[in-house]
Amino acid sequence: MSLLSVRDLVVKFAMRHQTLTALDHISFELAQGERLGIVGESGAGKSITGFAILNLLSQPGFIAGGKIMFDGKDMAALSSEEIRLIRGDRIAMIFQDPMVTLNPVLTIGEQMVETLQAHRNISRSDAEKIAIVKLREVYIPAPEERLSQYPHELSGGMRQRIIIAIALLLDPQLIIADEPTTALDVTIQADIMELLLELCQNNKVSLILITHDLGVVSQMTERTLVMYAGKIIESGKTREIVNDPQHPYTQGLINALPQQTVAGHRLKQIPGNMPGLGSLPPGCAFHPRCDFATDICKKSVPEFVSFADVKVACHEVARLHKTKKAEAKDG
Partner 1 sequence: MVDSIAPDLIEVKNLEKRFALDEGFLETVKFRGGKILREKREVHAVNNVSLNIVRGEALCVVGESGCGKSTLARLVVGLLKPSAGQVLYGGTRIDNLSAKDMLPYRRKMQMIFQNPYASLNARMSIEQALMEPVKVHNPRLSRAEIFDKVAEVMQAVGVDPSWAKRYPHEFSGGQRQRIAIARALTMDPEFVIADEPISALDVSIQAQVLNLMLEAKDQRGLTYLFITHDLSVVQHFGTRVAVFYLGSLCELADTKTLFDTPKHPYTQALLSAVPKLSDEAPSHIRLKGEIPTPINLPPGCPFESRCVHANARCLAEHPAPLQKPDGAIVACHAVEEGRID
Phi and psi based region of residue 249 (left: phi greater than 0; alpha: psi -120 to 50; beta: remaining): alpha
Does 270 help bind partner 1 (rule: CB under 8 A)? yes
Contact map string, positions 239 to 268, toward partner 1, x by CB under 8 A: x--x---------xxx-xxxx-x-xx-xxx
Measure the CA–CA gap between 56 and 65, rounded to whole angstroms. 15
Count of chain residues binding partner 1 (CB under 8 A)? 43
Does 157 help bind partner 1 (rule: CB under 8 A)? yes
Q: To the nearest whole angstrom, how small is the minimum distance from the Cβ of residue 98 to partner 1?
A: 13
Does 328 help bind partner 1 (rule: CB under 8 A)? no
* β-strands 231-237, 73-74 pairing: unpaired
DSSP 208: E
Cβ proximity to partner 1, 121 vs 187, nearer residue:
187
User: Phi first, then psi: what are they for 275, rounded to 5°?
Assistant: -65, 150
Does 58 help bind partner 1 (rule: CB under 8 A)? no
Does 94 help bind partner 1 (rule: CB under 8 A)? no
Q: To the nearest whole angstrom, how small is the minimum distance from the Cβ of residue 217 to partner 1?
A: 9
| Among 18, 19, 42, 300, interactor with partner 1 by CB under 8 A | 42
Cβ proximity to partner 1, 89 vs 137, nearer residue:
137
Using the CB atoms, write b or e for 26-59: b if 16+ within 10 Å: bbbbbeebbbbbbbbeebbbbbbbbbbbbbebee
Half-sphere CA count of 230, side-chain side, radius 13 A: 22
Measure the CA–CA gap between 233 and 212, rounded to whole angstroms. 15
What SS3 string covers 16-27? Answer: CCCEEEEEEEEE
Q: To the nearest whole angstrom, how small is the minimum distance from the Cβ of residue 7 to partner 1?
A: 29
Write out the residues near partner 1 by the rule CB under 8 A: 41-42, 155, 157-158, 185-191, 193-194, 197, 212-216, 218-220, 239, 242, 252-254, 256-259, 261, 263-264, 266-271, 273-274
